[in-house]
């Protein structure tokens, strides 16, 4: 069993009458890249600050444990961790090497040791010391400043590295490059990375596991594949990627499937999802798991609901076919782009069409979550 370096045990945090974190429990393993993902105000940054020691749980508000020890009252410098802030928080009057060395100096590291540690950290983040050591932050690009902030944290050789949306200020291309570099660093160093973000793609790209937060609670925790392919609630299905939703009432079971009758038509769902006779059912189907076909050409064994093509949207790698269904609902079908100039898609606005999917390609969701 892997070693847990961070544990939350029924942790609560309130600010006045506002409950920022509500009874959350989870653990993070040594060397893991663990992301806390959610919309603004969900409690993800408060959770990170509870790990860092900038906030403390309520009295009788559970336990935060690091390396097995309860640290509810410990200060940040007592916790063997480092943090990279969203704003980078570099000292504008200090050179790159002085910024990176600052934490070592505060910890009383022998002076003779500091230059080598600084250059080692710069090498980790691929900053050439010859070119950058004596520059000021104002002389750096956004990506270079981000690397300095990362080096300043790594130079302390922390067992746990906290990252609070550090890529938010970068352009898209650089952000994607840094995502891969952060994941590579995590693997090479064996340091536990705990990453806060509201960007679902960022979390899916880098993480070993993701905790999705909603309204101060953990809505779901799992690997990227588990979170994306098996969302537990409507919130997770909406927040992580795109989803289409179909609703109805279970009317009977046939073999391995339940039949669900909805206002727009009937469909089957797998029986192993805890569905019972007469139960309300809501399922999520990802756009890439849907097909669009003629109403009289539905593949055998697939669910199908007929409607009308509203629009076809060109997105480069894929095309999105929007189909209006009964009940004033529109669903999105993602179709692979096979070359619109040579082999254009046959569908156009106003065509009658059916959206179809295999019963096993839908996820039955828990009710009671928006």
Beta strand residue intervals within 55-106, DSSP E: 63-66, 69-70, 81-84
Give the chain's mean pLDDT: 92
pLDDT value for 178: 85
Q: Report the half-sphere exposure of 43 (CA within 13 A, side-chain side).
A: 24
Q: Based on the domain organization, do 76 and 210 belong to the same domain?
A: yes
Contact assessment for residue 151 and residue 100, using Cβ atoms and an 8 Å cutoff = yes
Q: pTM score, two decimals?
A: 0.89
Query: Where does the pLDDT of residue 70 fall: very low under 50, low under 70, confident under 90, or very high at 90 and above?
Result: very high
Choosing from 209, 238, 267, the residue where a domain stops is 238
Q: Based on the domain organization, do 164 and 274 belong to the same domain?
A: no
Q: Based on the domain organization, do 173 and 227 belong to the same domain?
A: yes
Q: Based on the domain organization, do 258 and 213 belong to the same domain?
A: no
Task: Tell me the CATH number at 251.
Answer: 2.40.50.100
Q: What is the pLDDT of residues 131-168, one digit of tens each?
A: 999 999 999 988 888 889 999 999 999 999 999 988 87
Range of the domain at 262: 242-364
Does residue 109 carry a pLDDT above 70?
yes
Name the 3-class secondary structure at 297.
Answer: coil
pLDDT value for 362: 92
Q: Based on the domain organization, do 68 and 217 belong to the same domain?
A: yes
Contact assessment for residue 159 and residue 3, using Cβ atoms and an 8 Å cutoff = no
Query: Where does the pLDDT of residue 1 fall: very low under 50, low under 70, confident under 90, or very high at 90 and above?
Result: low
pLDDT value for 303: 95
Q: Based on the domain organization, do 83 and 9 belong to the same domain?
A: yes
**Is residue 84 in some structural domain?**
yes
Q: Based on the domain organization, do 256 and 198 belong to the same domain?
A: no
Residue spans of alpha helices (H) in 66-128: 96-106, 114-124
Query: Where does the pLDDT of residue 345 fall: very low under 50, low under 70, confident under 90, or very high at 90 and above?
Result: confident
Task: Tell me the CATH number at 130.
Answer: 3.40.50.300
**Is residue 369 in some structural domain?**
no
Q: How far does CA 38 lie from the centroid of its chain?
A: 7
The rounded percent of the chain whose pLDDT value lies above 90 is 74
Q: Which of 27-31, 125-129, 328-332 has the highest mean pLDDT?
A: 27-31
Residue at token pair 């727009």: 264
pLDDT value for 354: 95
Number of domains comprising the chain: 2
Choosing from 238, 260, 293, the residue where a domain stops is 238
Q: Based on the domain organization, do 290 and 269 belong to the same domain?
A: yes
Q: Based on the domain organization, do 335 and 190 belong to the same domain?
A: no
The rounded percent of the chain whose pLDDT value lies above 70 is 98
Q: Based on the domain organization, do 30 and 160 belong to the same domain?
A: yes
Strand 209-214 vs strand 257-262: parallel, antiparallel, or unpaired? unpaired
Does residue 236 carry a pLDDT above 90?
yes
Q: Based on the domain organization, do 8 and 83 belong to the same domain?
A: yes
**Is residue 309 in some structural domain?**
yes
């Amino acid at each position: 069993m892997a070693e847990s370096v961070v544990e939350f045990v029924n942790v609560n945090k309130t600010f006045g009458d506002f409950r920022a974190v509500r009874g959350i429990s989870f653990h993070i393993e040594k060397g893991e890249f663990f992301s806390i993902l959610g919309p603004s105000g969900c409690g993800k940054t408060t959770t990170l600050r509870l790990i860092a020691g900038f906030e403390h749980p309520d009295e009788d508000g559970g336990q935060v444990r690091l390396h097995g020890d309860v640290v509810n009252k410990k200060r940040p410098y007592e916790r063997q961790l480092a943090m990279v802030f969203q704003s980078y928080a570099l000292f504008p009057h200090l050179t790159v090497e002085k910024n990176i060395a600052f934490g070592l100096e505060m910890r009383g590291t022998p002076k003779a040791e500091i230059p080598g540690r600084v250059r080692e950290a710069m090498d980790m983040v691929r900053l050439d010391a010859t070119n950058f050591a004596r520059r000021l932050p104002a002389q750096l690009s956004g990506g270079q400043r981000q690397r300095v902030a990362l080096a300043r944290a790594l130079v302390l050789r922390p067992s746990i590295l906290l990252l609070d949306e550090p890529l938010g200020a970068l352009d898209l291309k650089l952000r994607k490059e840094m995502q891969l570099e952060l994941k590579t660093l995590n693997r090479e160093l064996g340091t536990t990375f705990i990453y806060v973000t509201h960007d679902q793609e960022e979390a899916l790209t880098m993480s070993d596991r993701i905790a999705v937060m909603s309204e101060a609670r953990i809505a779901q925790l799992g690997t990227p594949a588990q979170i994306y392919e098996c969302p537990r609630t409507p919130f997770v299905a909406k927040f992580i990627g795109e989803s289409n939703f179909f609703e109805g009432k279970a009317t009977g079971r046939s073999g391995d499937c339940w039949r669900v009758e909805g206002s727009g038509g009937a469909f089957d769902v797998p029986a192993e999802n805890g569905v019972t006779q007469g139960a309300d059912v809501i399922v999520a189907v990802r756009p890439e798991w849907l097909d669009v076909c003629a109403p009289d050409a539905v593949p055998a064994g697939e669910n199908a609901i007929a409607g009308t093509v509203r629009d076809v949207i060109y997105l480069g790698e894929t095309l999105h076919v929007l189909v209006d269904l009964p009940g004033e609902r529109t669903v999105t079908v993602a179709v692979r782009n096979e070359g619109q100039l040579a082999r254009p898609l046959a569908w156009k606005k106003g065509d009658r069409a059916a959206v179809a999917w295999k019963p096993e390609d839908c996820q039955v969701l828990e009710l009671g979550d928006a």
